[in-house]
Each structure stands twice: as structure tokens, then as C-alpha cells.
């Protein structure tokens, strides 16, 4: 099986787009998706400094990789484990984790927290796993899963993305 974009072998299969990519084009596809989402949400101002919250080691490293690429190294971030409120926070978490949290808030009728800046909110956990492999980063399995969400995603691929979109809309209205 060949890559969608070139004649190389398509090692990575995206279940979301149902296409195969070589490592290089897989990374490019993800980078474009993150860039598009960040541009639409207009939440980054390169004149400011941001705190990059250490979530998991692999998510932190992956976020750094893409932020560096997308902003050509112009974005100032400081890694932190103890975020303070004085600088805006970037909290890198996979789409799966965001969608799960939102679904549970919704089902339990809890008031949702404010949307955080998260470059990885458009990246599926399985994609995070592939990216870790490509970048040579140690990946730790996601234990925050939700059975309903996983069943729905298996039955209707794209469910997590739709949930994330709804979440963004609803949280915007709550502000």
C-alpha cells in the first residue's frame, strides 16, 4: 500500500481519513490540521509568552514539536508543572481526552470548564501514538477512556471530532 501523497510505502493508516501515509506526509497532515484549528480559534498571540503545562511527557514533547514548526520557533513557551495564572496556559491533551471529559460533563450535567489552549485537541490518541513512534518519543498508554465514546467511535468514525466541535461551540456560549 502506497502513501496518499507520494510513491513511498504508506506505513501509517489514518482511521479518521481512511488513508495511508508515509511518516513524512502523516506528520505534514497532522501539522496542517493543528495549524488550521489554531488559526480558526485565534487563541495564540506570538507577542505573548505562554506556559506549556507538562501533561504527559509524550504530549508535552509532541506539542512542542508542532508549535515550533507552526510558529517557526517564534512562539515563546516555558515548560511548567506548576502553572500560575499570570501567563496563559497551553495544555496539550489528545482529542480523546478532551472528548471524554466533555461527554462526562455533559452527561453529569456539570458546568464545563473554560476551553484551554490545546494544540492537540484535533489529534486522536491513536495518531499521538503514531507520532510518538515517528519522533522516537516514549508513549504511555491512555487510561482515560470512556466505553460509550469508544463504542460510538468504532461504529461512527468521526464521533470524537464532532464532540470536540460541539464542545468548542457550547463553551464559547458559556463564556
Note the residues at the interface with Zn ion (CB under 5 A).
3, 5-6, 8, 22, 25
Triad 91, 92, 98: Cα angle to 5° = 90
Among residues 69 and 168, whose Cβ is nearest to Zn ion? 69
Among residues 8 and 49, whose Cβ is nearest to Zn ion? 8
Minimum distance, C-beta of residue 89 to Zn ion, in the bound complex (Å): 35
Within 13 Å and on the Cβ side, how many CA atoms surround 146? 18
Minimum distance, C-beta of residue 29 to Zn ion, in the bound complex (Å): 10
| H helix count then E strand count, the chain | 6, 5
Among residues 25 and 61, whose Cβ is nearest to Zn ion? 25
Among residues 134 and 170, whose Cβ is nearest to Zn ion? 134
Minimum distance, C-beta of residue 26 to Zn ion, in the bound complex (Å): 8
Q: Strand pairing of 19-21 and 12-14? A: antiparallel
79, containing H or E segment: strand 76-80
Minimum distance, C-beta of residue 94 to Zn ion, in the bound complex (Å): 24
The answer to whether 62 and 137 are in contact (CB under 8 A) is yes
Minimum distance, C-beta of residue 12 to Zn ion, in the bound complex (Å): 10
**Nearest-angstrom CA–CA distance, 148 and 139:** 24
**Nearest-angstrom CA–CA distance, 76 and 70:** 12
Among residues 22 and 99, whose Cβ is nearest to Zn ion? 22
Amino acid at each position: 500500500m502506497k502513501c496518499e501523497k507520494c510513491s513511498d510505502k504508506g506505513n501509517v493508516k489514518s482511521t479518521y481519513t481512511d488513508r495511508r501515509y508515509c511518516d513524512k506526509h502523516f506528520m505534514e497532515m497532522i501539522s496542517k490540521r493543528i495549524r488550521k484549528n489554531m488559526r480558526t480559534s485565534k487563541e495564540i498571540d506570538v507577542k505573548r509568552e505562554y506556559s506549556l503545562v507538562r501533561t504527559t511527557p509524550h504530549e508535552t514533547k509532541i506539542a512542542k514539536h508542532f508549535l515550533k514548526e507552526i510558529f517557526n520557533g517564534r512562539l515563546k513557551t516555558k515548560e511548567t508543572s506548576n502553572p500560575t495564572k499570570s501567563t496563559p496556559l497551553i495544555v496539550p491533551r489528545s482529542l480523546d481526552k478532551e472528548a471524554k471529559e466533555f461527554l462526562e460533563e455533559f452527561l453529569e450535567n456539570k458546568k464545563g470548564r473554560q476551553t484551554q489552549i490545546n494544540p492537540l485537541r484535533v489529534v486522536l490518541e491513536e495518531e499521538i501514538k503514531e507520532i510518538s513512534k515517528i519522533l522516537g518519543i516514549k508513549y504511555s498508554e491512555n487510561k482515560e477512556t470512556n466505553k460509550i465514546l469508544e463504542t460510538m467511535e468504532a461504529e461512527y468514525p468521526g464521533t470524537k471530532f464532532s464532540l470536540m466541535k460541539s464542545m468548542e461551540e457550547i463553551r464559547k456560549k458559556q463564556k
